[in-house]
Chain A
């Protein structure tokens, strides 16, 4: 157990729907990162939050949004889902806001299947 908790583990939903993925970071970690992993795209960075504030944004679609709450858990909201959104979504956490100093600890991911 890495200490980063993601729920749910699996999610199957229809096109056009909206889902929320949840992440609880490792105890003491203030940063949360969201990544999308698909077979042909590898690990794609979506967004980072540090202590409640958005710090960095990657290739995140406008249909996707995220936030980090005062208790430091984070939610990734995916709306108007398309078949191409089917992927593994990983959350990672770190103590500070600079990934280059310490790396990340990843959760086990949420497998999203859009049908």
Chain B
């Protein structure tokens, strides 16, 4: 129940296209859903996060869509750029939890 399942494992998108990464969870107590971006040789960095009281959150070209009934959330990257090439992790946590539970990661490649 503590798992977060992320798909796809890898994704190739053309420059200017939309990148979509999906995550699903089982634990209905989860109420904090961040996305992390990791470049080679670096640690993951917080990109954007959402709480279940909203269905969508947008920051620049990055949007999280949240479907509480389906227990799914996704990251959309609009107008994808080569600089967006990185590994993306979704994560989840619940109030009172000491740790984040991470998905397996998606390696995103944006072709120029």
Contact = CB atoms under 8 A, between A and B. Distances in A.
Contacts of A33: 99
Interface string B35-51: 01000011111100100
Contact of A43 (B32, B49, B95, B105): B105
B43 A100 contact: no
A63 interface: no
A66 to B, nearest CB: 14
A56 B98 contact: yes
Interface stretch (A12-20, A75-83, A103-111): A103-111
B46 A104 contact: yes
B98 A106 contact: no
Given A42-B105, A92-B43, A103 B49 contact: yes
A3 B93 CA distance: 23
A2 B97 contact: no
Chain A residues touching B, range: 20 to 34
Contacts of A97: 98
Interface in B77-112: 89, 91, 93-105
A90 B105 CA distance: 15
Given A4-B43, A101-B32, A104-B46, A42 B89 contact: yes
Given A2-B43, A42-B89, A90-B44, A104 B105 contact: no
A97 B97 CA distance: 8
Given A56-B99, A106-B43, A100 B105 contact: no
19 contacts: A4-B43, A43-B44, A43-B105, A48-B99, A50-B98, A55-B98, A56-B99, A90-B44, A92-B43, A97-B98, A99-B97, A100-B31, A100-B97, A103-B49, A105-B45, A106-B36, A106-B43, A106-B45, A108-B41
Interface of A: 2, 4, 31, 33, 42-43, 45, 48, 50, 55-56, 58, 90, 92, 97-101, 103-109
Given A42-B89, A105-B46, 6 more contacts: A42-B103, A48-B99, A98-B95, A99-B98, A104-B100, A105-B45
